[in-house]
Chains A and B, each alone.
Chain A
Amino acid sequence: MQKIPKQQPFQVPENYFEELPEKIMARASRPKPSRNWTWVAAAAVLLGVGLWQAGEFNTSTSTPINPDEEALLYIESEQWNAEDVLSLSDNPNELLDQIIEEELAKSEPLWTEEETWF
């Protein structure tokens, strides 16, 4: 055990702890933007661009096909992978963060009694 040194304290920017309470107080009093709306907006952007893109690919088809179904076909036939779909969005990073957040919210709590940590 003596072989392991104690970690040195982390450096923080000057006046960080003097200013932090004010920053938190300001954030706490700010009304929270509705996450649903952000999500809907992001999905709409993705879908909108996706439909436009699907339309572009569809110009030579004589039988009209639902753009949603066509997009699904591209995904299922592995012509579009997750990165392709995300790249259709204006803000793929933001969208990805939101998807992950949604998925994490559905997953099990982080701390569980039965969990083995080693």
Chain B
Amino acid sequence: MKVNDQELLARIRSPFTKELGFRELIETYQKSVYQVIRRMVLIHEDADDLTQNTFIKAYKALDRFEGNSSLFTWLYRIATNESLTFLEKKKKRYFFSLDDHQEKLESYVDSGATISGDEIQVKLQKSLLKLPDKQRLVFHLKYEEDLSYEEISKITGTTVGALKASYHHAVKKIEQELTQE
């Protein structure tokens, strides 16, 4: 755990500086937490909601945080779980309604609301959406966030071997998609 993390935790755990410390925690990590969630759920309103949930869950569980990992890793673990649970819920909902979340996300990408209307970026987003959610997450954490397998292993609680295999498959699939005309 980093020294800064320890100082931050000490501030949050003290009744006199609790609010100040929590605000500092949010300000330090909000952009990276939001980005990792937004990459998974794409729509800003959903990402906003899940980012807030992530910090609130962290706040409520801070007393149980033992400091075996960094705050970054711990927050990412909560954030990625929140995102995957959200996507899982959306899939389950599809059994009962005509609201196909996958189609909704593809239309969202087409609308250019996520990123610039750059053709290659839209194509990339669409090919990413074809991956299973967890594989897509591994791809984001490794390729976009540039985290090491060891860090991703701590976030996901998955072995480095499984992560490497998952990433390899994701890259192959995306390359195939992107080279297809």
Contact = CB atoms under 8 A, between A and B. Distances in A.
Interface of A: 1, 3-13, 16-17, 20-21, 23-25, 27-28, 82-83, 86, 96-97, 100-101, 103-104, 110-113, 115-118
A1 B148 CA distance: 17
- In this complex, the member of A4, A11, A23 whose beta carbon has the largest number of chain B beta carbons within 10 angstroms is A4
A82 B92 CA distance: 13
B115 A12 contact: no
28 contacts: A3-B175, A4-B175, A5-B124, A6-B143, A7-B115, A7-B144, A8-B116, A8-B118, A9-B35, A10-B35, A10-B39, A10-B47, A12-B34, A21-B23, A21-B27, A25-B26, A28-B60, A86-B96, A100-B92, A104-B85, A110-B84, A111-B81, A111-B158, A112-B157, A115-B158, A115-B162, A117-B162, A118-B169
Contacts, number: 118
A1 to B, nearest CB: 7
Interface residues of B, number: 58
B3 interface: no
The 3 A-B pairs at the shortest CB distance, nearest first, are namely A117-B166, A111-B157, A118-B169
B165 A118 contact: yes
Given A1-B171, A111-B81, A12 B44 contact: yes
Contacts of B118: 8
A60 B114 CA distance: 58
A3 B178 contact: yes
Contacts of B22: 25, 28
B52 interface: yes
Interface string B58-96: 011000000000000000000001001100110011011
A23 B178 CA distance: 39
Interface in B146-181: 156-159, 162-163, 165-166, 169, 171, 174-175, 178-179
